Amino acid sequence: MPSAGQALSTIWRKLTRANAQLEQETAEHRRTEEALARRTAELEEARSFLDSVLEHLPVMLFVKDARDLKFVRWNRAEEEALGIDRSAAIGRSDYDFFPEEQASFFVAKDRAVLDGGQLVEIPEEAIQTAHRGLRFLHTIKVPVLGADGKPKYLVGISEDITERKRAQEELARAREQEVEIGFKIQQTLLLDQPPREVPGVRVAALTIPSQRIDGDFYDFFKHREDCLDVIVGDVMGKGIPAALLGAATKSHFLQALSRLLSLAAPGTLPQPKDIVTLAHSEVARQLIDLESFVTVCYARFDLENRTVDFVDCGHTTTIHYRAKNRTCAMLQGENLPLGVIEREIYEQVRVELEAGDVLLFYSDGLTETRNGDGELFGIERLAECVRANGHLEPEALIDRIRQAAVTFSNSETFGDDLTCVAVKIEEREPPLSRAEVEISSDLAELARARAFVREVCRTLPGPALAETVVSQLELAITEALSNIMRHAYRGRTDQRIQLDIEAFADRLVLRLHHLGETFDPSAVKRPAFDGTEDGGFGMYIIEQSVDNVRYYRDERGRNCISMVKNRQTA
């Protein structure tokens, strides 16, 4: 049996061992705790670094819970962009802040991200903010997976692209405006209405603008009843610069013409070659400096003698259709375009014309149109088209040419502006008598206009008109005038309307001219004949009272209505 002393020793040894162990464990524990504390401190530091980074990131950042898509985190940029404090956002969803449509869009994208487990980029989304209205964002959404591999959070980063978008839209608008301005320049400065009331000649013009405007231009000067100048030109180059140069060139021609007219002996007209030479001398320096040139064809038609004097300056070959044998001659001058040599002197050529002949001027946009195989429309094809259709009215001829170009290129639009002017010589038929009057746009003047018509009919040369015919003319004039007064001039009584009547052996031509709004005859519907409508008869009455009605714009910019009434031939 152990003694007490031995027992004590054993207990002492056990206790010492246990104590040592305990001390060891305590020390280890302390080291672990210290390690843990260090680790925690490290984590804390890492976390606060991350927080700081996320908070100060210059992009909007949010985090949503993957289950209910409620916000768990917003950074400062997000607060500032949306004008909402994060304390109001955390725990809420998109539906609490944004219109339903926008919120649904956001949530749908969120779901796509979470279901697909992949990053989704949204190039543009609209978001309604409290303080800055509607903004546009470029957003990237990313799923964050939990330890179980399933999406735990959704992180979104956004950039406000509203300003950039606005800048892009403005640029697009500016471009559109440039095309619009170009088109307007074309219509107002470069391309005029061909003259409609020059006896002995009929003029038709066609322009099909391309997307980029060109420097095509044309102009008409009617000197007397028997003399018409036609100028057709093309500026080298494209776009607004070419258009402006075209307008400037036209203006120089006008100036040159007007200066030479004032110097010419009374009753004479300056020669086309002198007009071109003078105009060129004014504009040559500018053209050379701008490294551009202008091709021009200036043609003076003498309708009394049936000749045309033309000065061709490098322009496309003019086609002369001869009615007698239905052939086409090519007219080409020897002059250089404007702007090539500063002191060029221009020569003119005279060509004899006959009734039925047509002169066709055009720009190279027409002959250089290509088809799908890269073939050019070319002058031969154009000449063939004129040969086949030269006997038609110039408007119809021009339309056939347009159709041929469209068919050839298989497109309604063209790379370059397509311009075409057809001048057809007609049998000159001076009126037997002519009378005109100007009235104001007051309905009270209708009776006076009727009286004028009646008086003209009474004093007509040739067989007297039947009373029914005179009444029809009174009615037609009344209806047409009241349309102009009430609609074109919108009831203003202080405007002017010119009325003229020309008598021929076989017909009477009544014309009204005004500066009111243009009328679109195709917009008028048939009247009701069953008594249900009070109005809408005007147009129908006019059409039934005369044999022909035409609406057009003349070279003075006036809107015109011409009504023709055939006379009973004895």
Partner 1 sequence: MELTTEKVGDVTVVILPGEQLDASNAKEFKRDIAPLLEPRGKVVFDLAGLSFVDSSGLGAFLSSLRQLNATGGDLKLCGMTKPVRALFELVRMHKIFDICGTKDEAIRSFVE
Tell me the helices (H) and strands (E) count for the chain, helix number first. Answer: 13, 20
Rounded least distance, CB 496 to partner 1, Å = 18
Q: In sequence order, what DSSP letters do the residues of 109-141 get, joined into one string?
A: HHHHHHHHTS-EEEEEEEEEETTTEEEEEEEEE
436, 501 contact by CB (below 8 A)? yes
| Minimum CB–partner distance for residue 461 and partner 1 (Å) | 24
CA 63 to CA 69: how far, in whole Å?
9
Residue 544 C-beta: closest distance to partner 1, Å: 6
Query: β-strands 418-425, 358-362: how paired?
Result: antiparallel
For residues 524 and 537, give the distance between their C-alpha atoms in angstroms, rounded to a whole number: 10
Cβ atoms of 410 and 371 closer than 8 Å: yes
The verdict on 561 binding partner 1 (CB under 8 A) reads: no
**Per CB under 8 A, which region of 322-330, 379-387, 409-417, 473-481 contacts partner 1?**
473-481
Q: Which residues of 490-521 are buried (b: 16+ CB within 10 A; e: fewer)?
A: eeeeebebebbbbbbeebbbbbbbbbbeebee
Binding mask 207-226 for partner 1 (x = CB under 8 A): --------------------
If binding is defined by CB under 8 A, does position 494 make contact with partner 1? no
Closest to partner 1 by CB, 360 or 439: 439
- Is residue 478 a contact point for partner 1 (CB under 8 A)? yes
6-35: which residues touch partner 1 (CB under 8 A)?
Answer: none
- Taking contact as CB under 8 A, which single stretch among the options 151-159, 160-168, 306-314, 535-543 is the one that binds partner 1? 535-543
Nearer to partner 1, 297 or 510 (CB): 510
Q: Tell me whether residue 379 or residue 446 sits nearer to partner 1 (CB atom).
A: 446
Q: In this chain, which stretch among 27-35, 383-391, 482-490, 502-510 interacts with partner 1, using CB under 8 A?
A: 482-490
Q: Does 541 bind partner 1 (CB under 8 A)?
A: yes
Output 312 or 474, the one with its CB closest to partner 1.
474
Binds partner 1 by CB under 8 A, chosen from 506, 533, 556, 566: 533
Binding mask 499-528 for partner 1 (x = CB under 8 A): ----------------------------x-
Tell me how far apart the alpha carbons of residues 123 and 418 are, in angstroms, rounded to a whole number.
Answer: 41
Helix axes 239-263, 162-185, angle to 10 degrees: 30
Comparing CB distances to partner 1, the nearer of 478 and 562 is: 478
Find the part of the chain contacting partner 1 (CB under 8 A) among 136-144, 155-163, 338-346, 478-486.
478-486
Collapsed DSSP state (helix, strand, coil) of residue 183: helix
Shortest distance (Å) from residue 558 CB to partner 1: 22
Nearer to partner 1, 99 or 491 (CB): 491
Helix (H) or strand (E) holding 201: strand 201-208
Cβ 471 to partner 1, closest distance in Å?
4
Question: What phi, psi does 564 have (nearest 5°)?
Answer: -115, 130
Which residues lie below 8 Å from residue 554, measured CB to CB, with a gap of 6+?
A: 193, 195, 196, 197, 513, 560
Residue 535, interface with partner 1 (CB under 8 A)?
yes
Residue 357: which of 399, 391, 402, 311 has the closest Cα? 391
Taking CB under 8 A as the criterion, the residue among 249, 348, 409, 545 binding partner 1 is: 545
Question: Tokens at residue 248, please?
Answer: 């400037």
The closest alpha carbon to 300, from 351, 252, 260, 250, belongs to 351
Using the rule CB under 8 A, is 538 a contact of partner 1? yes
Kindly report the backbone phi and psi dihedral angles of residue 342, in degrees, each rounded to the nearest multiple of 5, phi listed first. -65, -40
| Of 330 and 443, CB closest to partner 1 | 443
Residues 326-355 within binding reach of partner 1 (CB under 8 A): none
Hey, what are 175's tokens? 């471009």
Residue (317 or 472) nearer to partner 1, CB = 472
- By the rule CB under 8 A, 148 interacts with partner 1: no
Identity of the residue, 301 or 489, whose beta carbon is nearer to partner 1 in the bound complex: 489
> Considering the rule CB under 8 A, would residue 537 count as an interface residue with partner 1?
yes
The answer to whether residue 531 forms part of the interface with partner 1 (CB under 8 A) is: yes
What does the block give as tokens for 204? Answer: 């038709």
Do residues 567 and 507 touch, judged by C-beta distance below 8 A? yes
The DSSP result for 470-525, as a single string, is HHHHHHHHHHHHHHIIIIISTT-SS-EEEEEEEE-SSEEEEEEEE-S----GGGPP
Helix-, strand-, coil-residue percentages of the chain, each rounded to 5: 40, 30, 30
Q: How many residues bind partner 1 (CB under 8 A)?
A: 29
Does 471 sit near partner 1 (CB under 8 A)?
Answer: yes
For partner 1, which is the closer residue by CB, 431 or 527?
Answer: 527
Residue 469 Cβ vs partner 1, minimum distance, rounded to whole Å = 11
Interacting residues with partner 1 between 436 and 465 (CB under 8 A): 443-444, 446-447, 450
Which positions lie near partner 1, rule CB under 8 A?
A: 443-444, 446-447, 450, 467-468, 471-472, 474-475, 478-479, 482, 485-486, 527, 529-531, 533-535, 537-538, 540-541, 544-545
